[in-house]
Amino acid sequence: MAGSGSFGRQEDCSIRSEGGLGLNWFTAQSFTNYSLKLDWKLVKDDNGGVFVGFPNPGNDPNIAINQGYEIQIDESDLPDRVTGSIYTFKGADREKVLAALKPLGQWNAYEIQVQGQNIKVFLNGVQVNDFTSTTRDISQGFIGVQNHGGGESIWYRNIRIKGGAIQPPAGPPVSLPGSFNKLLGER
């Protein structure tokens, strides 16, 4: 974890945000060209996100915010800051998001494909964003999930990654070893 927030393990093997701002990041290695898949859920109008392409943040979650990219999870913000958006850089296709998004309380699935400087975001199997970075080098970096802050709750589960060139359809993912699985519990 980076920052004051944390995640608590739930009975269903998901993790739920607790406390203040925090980033649960995978410390064992950085990644180049990969497909990151995970499920997320909100039960009320809260906020969270998935970060890609950031340098080692140590204990400062702002490193990920300022040097990587956040794939946003929040349906009540500005158009470049709602679900599927590359936060403040490129809004998601709203029509596709609204058609694919499941209601509060239900699990949604992200697949985030990073190839070089390009990020493609799929929400429940529907491509909702295609963004190419021209300002930040994300060709290699770490991945993490965000606890946005105190009083906000987001759940994550089934976090997995597959490296190498992405070939549609992306093959079966591999569970992450190390810090994520220690928190989630080995299956």
Mean pLDDT value across residues 32-61? 95
| 135, part of any domain | yes
What is residue 96's predicted lDDT score, i.e. its pLDDT?
A: 97
Whole-number percent of the chain with pLDDT over 90: 75
How far are the Cα atoms of 80, 82, 92 from residue 87, in angstroms, in the given order?
6, 8, 10
What is residue 150's predicted lDDT score, i.e. its pLDDT?
A: 83
| 120, part of any domain | yes
pLDDT tens for 70-94 read 999 998 888 999 999 999 999 999 9
Q: Find the helix or strand (DSSP H, E) in which 184 lies.
A: helix 179-184
pLDDT tens for 142-166 read 999 999 988 889 999 999 999 876 5
| 130, part of any domain | yes
- In terms of residue numbers, what domain contains 123? 2-166
Q: Report yes or no: 17 and 73 within 8 Å, Cβ to Cβ.
A: no
Domains in the chain, number: 1
What is residue 83's predicted lDDT score, i.e. its pLDDT?
A: 97
| 154, part of any domain | yes
| 87, part of any domain | yes
Mean pLDDT value across residues 8-20? 92
| 59, part of any domain | yes
What confidence category does residue 167 fall into, taking pLDDT thresholds of 50, 70 and 90?
A: low
Q: Strand, helix or coil at 10?
A: coil
Mean per-residue pLDDT of the chain:
89
Distance CA 108, CA 151 (A): 21
Distance CA 75, CA 97 (A): 10
Find, among 52, 61, 72, 53, the residue nearest to 154 by Cα. Answer: 72
CATH of residue 132's domain is 2.60.120.560
| 174, part of any domain | no
Distance CA 25, CA 57 (A): 9
What is residue 175's predicted lDDT score, i.e. its pLDDT?
A: 52
pLDDT tens for 22-40 read 999 988 889 999 999 999 9
| 187, part of any domain | no
Tell the residue number behind the tokens 């190839």, with chain if given.
115
pLDDT tens for 121-146 read 999 999 999 999 999 999 899 999 99
